[in-house]
Structure 1
Amino acid sequence: MDTTRTLHSARKRARTLFPAKVPIRVTATAAALASVALLAGCGGGSDSPTGGGIADDGTVTITMGLFGVMGFKETDLLERYMDEHPNVVIEAEVSGDEQAYYTALQTHLAAGSGLKDIQGIEIGRAKEIVDTQANTFADFSGMPGTDHFLPWKLSQVTTDDGRVLGLGTDIGPMAVCYRKDMFEQAGLPTDREEVAALWENGWSEYVDVGEEFMANSEDGDLAFMDSSTGLFNGMIYGDSEQFYDADGELIYADNPVVSDAWDLSARAATGGMTAELQQFQPGWDPGLANSTFATTVCPAWMLAHISEKAGEENAGNWDVARAPQGANWGGSFLGVVEESPVRDEAMELVAWLTAPEQQAYLFQELGNFPSSQEALESEEVTGATSEYFSGAPIGQIFGDAALEIPDEQVLGPKDGTIKDLFVQGLQQIESQGTSPDDAWQDTQEDIERAVG
């Protein structure tokens, strides 16, 4: 299959939904199809733990392991870098499934071989990398030109002794995406400022609006929100601590941030105001296509997925309003393997790829929201709007949310596992009718078995 043509077609479809100067995002399917090497180049020697190296003619080959749609291979950034550095060849492999990617990465880390010179690190894996692989990755602390990130971003990949194991790519500041036509039918305001004011005092007001929506909606089959788990994510990630404290101790069972998010999400689930869906799982895309719910808690990177799955016929029906509280869901890093034979060259490439100019470019091209504060303040980001989402000033909305995120974001080694188990517990309430108290108890037991 011609993967270059596949990516071109995916970009063309996205640009149809997001006209010029409006962020787009290539689908994960296209990323998975692009999992072959970008260019065939010379690899490292047999004694090298990574695939890159320097050939006799001085050609520097740098290998990259990426996942999802990080944007580097889906745009022309790697080609631009090679044009500016004629002696550099970049080989990038992309896995569409982050779980499969991370499983393979752990295998290579354990073996000490088979690694790429540059490895992508998802935010949910960052703490485990910091705790168990600090000596495997190069230290970016003090590297010139890397002081432009949001205060909390690099802290997530910083060791206790101050080593910075990677540089930040995107982040996921959150808002609420809503259907104006459905709000109008339920007698609610449709102007995004007025909508944001409905829940400006907290997430409990968001659920209050949901109760009013359900009481007044003309369509008895229509739900106010897609999922209680989206609400749960929006609440917990607005605080500096979720499942672990700063000392690395598990606090999920006693943290009021978690219990409050559980209680409010359970209230939404038992109140019949959710479509009983799970974001990015089977049923969610048809829910968007068939217009079965009126709101979803949405990080910036979700907008392109909504526009693609909801379809061109719903352009202008969707809008974006501020969330009750700034929060972050998602994001990643690029790390360089310490023993790479091209470590210095790979570090220079990472610094360039994550520089403010490139982050702003990726936002314009794919919708990947910058972790660079300098990029956030650029005109390319602050002035961005989305025609699909009724001309919403998405750069301003998500940029303001990013600045509200606490300066410290505590991560734990099993954050992803714990969150997944809470999601499963809430689904018990939604789809199986389990009582919130019983589902909470089941979830606590599941977490204890999984993480100790």
Structure 2
Amino acid sequence: MKSRALRRTVIVTAAVSTAALALAGCAGSSNGSGSGDSNEKITLTVTTFGTMGLDSLYKKYEDAHPNITIKATNIDTGGNALTDWQTKQAAGAGLPDVQSVEEGWLGQVMLVSNTFTDLRDYGADKIKDRWVPYKVDEATDKDGRIIGYGTDIGPEGLCYNRKLFEAAGLPTDRDAVAELFGGANATWEDYFKIGKQYHEKTGKAWYDQSGFVWNAMVNQLPEGYYKTDGTLNVKDNADLKARWALLSQGAADGLSSNQTQWDWGGGKAFVDGSFATFVCPGWMLGNVKNSTEAAGGDASSGWDFADVFPGGPANWGGTFLTVPTTSKHPKEAAALAEYLTSAPSLVTAFQAAGTFPSVIEAQTDPGVTGQSDLTKFFNDAPIGTILGKRAEGVKAQYKGPDDAVIQEQVFGPSIQLLDSGKADGTKAWNNAMKLLDDLVINK
């Protein structure tokens, strides 16, 4: 759910302690009681990030509510949005009335969940069946407070380039591509095996860089960097080490194009044959399209979308709309968040950005399952239908408070060592464990 070369995952550039967040949140919080007179002229501020597909909805809401003006701020990346929230949360000032929160940093938010409005006070319990159950579970804190309304989820399918597949003698029909990787039984082992064959045939890379592949591998495990009881789950984790071995061998075999995350040479790598496959949660499809077009490409560049994913169901990302307790208009802010996450609104968002709705009714709406500019770009792939199938079997993975730090600042540099050839799998893993000690365990 990002614009062009903008990231979905987060990079924590400013560490803010839990204590500081909590103290600031308490100092600046106000439960409020709404604006009082429903005809009072008020301004609601909204902070989003990347491409959430909500922009066109603000004017519609203002037209239906003449007393409300919406002032929207969109931050370019999830990482910068996290830093912005951390800074304002610590200061106890400057937070918007409606704050978007990404799944990857939900663990940090839950440490200070009391600084967010309990949306049950404004009817959340009455509408919670709107969403897939795990989306509501993710937004519910340990005290049972619902602090966010879900926008999208990120079920993953596989983007592939038909032209590059054809040149390598691989099938190009999306159903045949799904079978190539094993269909419902697709494995990472097969993905890397076919990638090695592709590289030997063409001399080209198989995927853009190892970071996104690693993220997908971790996200589909029952437990990722944290166990469900909240304890760290990295060192001596056999599942992680097995996937790391596959990833490091893939890099050694030349399967990574070593692209800069979220840049891809200004999108050029999507049109010059630098890589043939790409891991794609729904929101990433907009990135592929926008990046390709930014580099002068279009639908003829050859990108398609298959109903298959190595290792089975996986989810990457998903956002929530929250109402910080500092809002002077929590009732109106909650109503706006409810509107923006209604089925019609999320259908509009999907058509604009490919963000697959977390609302059940919207998932089967013709506006999601039918044709759009996005489906035309991907060779008329039934994107909404595929994403609906890819969402089956997905279970919410517990995200701990330093989940984003571990993904980006612990494994990120080590993955770059792999892709650049500066370290083998063992050295890169050991480097990650040192960073884990420095940034998480001994911080």
2:200 equivalent among 203, 215, 220: 215
Distance in 1 (CA, whole Å) between partners of 2:96 and 2:31 is 5
Higher helix share: 2
* Cα distance, 1:278 vs structure 2: 3.8
1:378 aligns with 2:355: no
Q: Which residues in structure 2 correspond to 1:4-403 (within 5 Å)?
A: 27=4, 54=35, 58-73=40-55, 75=56, 77-131=57-111, 133-141=112-120, 142-200=124-182, 201=185, 202-217=187-202, 220=203, 222-281=204-263, 283=265, 285-311=267-293, 313=297, 315-316=299-300, 317-321=302-306, 322-324=308-310, 325-384=312-371, 386-403=375-392
| Deviation of the 1:205 alpha carbon | 0.7
How many angstroms does 1:59 deviate by?
A: 1.6
The residue identity in structure 1 corresponding to 2:255 is M
- The equivalent of 2:433 in structure 1 is 444
CA distance in 2, matches of 1:98, 1:320: 24
Q: 1:282 to 1:225 in 2, by over 3 A?
A: closer
- Alpha-carbon distance in structure 1 between the residues aligned to 2:145 and 2:36: 30
- State the distance in 1 between where 2:70 and 2:195 align: 50
Distance 1:225 1:102 in 2: 28
**How high is the TM-score relative to the length of structure 2?**
0.85
Deviation sequence 1:328-363 (CA, Å, 0-9, x none): 112211111224221111111111110111111110
Instruction: Report if aligned partners of 1:277, 1:284 keep a CA contact under 8 Å in 2.
Output: no
Q: 1:166: how far off?
A: 0.8
CA 1:267/1:26 → structure 2, altered by over 3 Å: closer, same or farther? closer
One-letter amino acid of the structure 2 residue matched with residue 139 of structure 1: D
Indicate if the aligned counterparts of 1:360 and 1:381 stay in contact, CA closer than 8 A: yes
Instruction: Give percent identity, aligned residues only.
Output: 36
1:409 corresponds to which residue?
A: 397
Q: Structure 1: any 5+ residue segments left out of the alignment?
A: 1-23, 30-46
Query: Would you say the 8 A contact 2:100–2:320 is kept in 1?
Result: yes
Q: Could you tell me which amino acid in structure 1 is paired with residue 117 of structure 2?
A: A
- What is the deviation of 1:256? 3.2
SS of match in other structure, 2:392: helix
Q: Quick check: 1:291–1:310 contact (8 Å CA) kept in 2?
A: no
Superposed CA RMSD in Å reads 2.5
Offset at 1:213?
1.1
User: What CA distance in whole angstroms lies between the structure 2 residues aligned with 1:296 and 1:152?
Assistant: 26
Deviation of 1:414 after TM superposition, in Å, equals 0.9
**C-alpha contact (below 8 Å) 2:159/2:305 kept by paired residues:** yes
Letter of the structure 1 residue corresponding to residue 400 of structure 2:
G
Moved more, 426-435 or 439-448: 426-435
Q: Secondary structure at the match of 1:258?
A: helix
Q: Tell me the alpha carbon deviations over residues 221-260 of structure 1, each in whole angstroms, 9 at most, x when there is no partner.
A: x212222222212222112321001111000223333222
Segments of 5+ residues of structure 2 without an aligned counterpart are 7-27
Amino acid in structure 2 at the alignment position of 1:100: N
Contact 1:229 1:265 survives alignment (8 Å): no
Q: Distance in 1 between matches of 2:347 and 2:370?
A: 11
TM-score between both structures, scaled by the size of structure 1: 0.83
State the alpha-carbon separation in 1 of the partners of residues 258 and 424 from structure 2.
15
After alignment, is 292-301 or 52-61 more displaced?
A: 52-61
Secondary structure in 2 matching 1:302: helix
Q: How far 1:102 sits from its partner (Å)? A: 2.4
User: SS of the residue aligned with 1:283?
Assistant: coil
Distance 1:391 1:233 in 2: 28
Counterpart CA distance in 1 for 2:100 and 2:363 is 22
Quote the Cα distance in structure 1 between the aligned partners of 2:94 and 2:266: 36
Change (3 A) 1:309 1:392: same
AA partner of residue 422 (structure 1) = F
Q: CA, structure 1 residues 188+282, in 2 after alignment: closer, same or farther (shift >3 Å)?
A: closer
Measure, in 2, the Cα distance between the counterparts of 1:108 and 1:286: 36
* Distance in 1 between residues matched to 2:263 and 2:438, nearest whole Å: 25
CA apart distance, 1:379 = 2.2
Count of residues paired in the alignment = 405
Cα 1:367–1:430 shift into 2, 3 Å: same
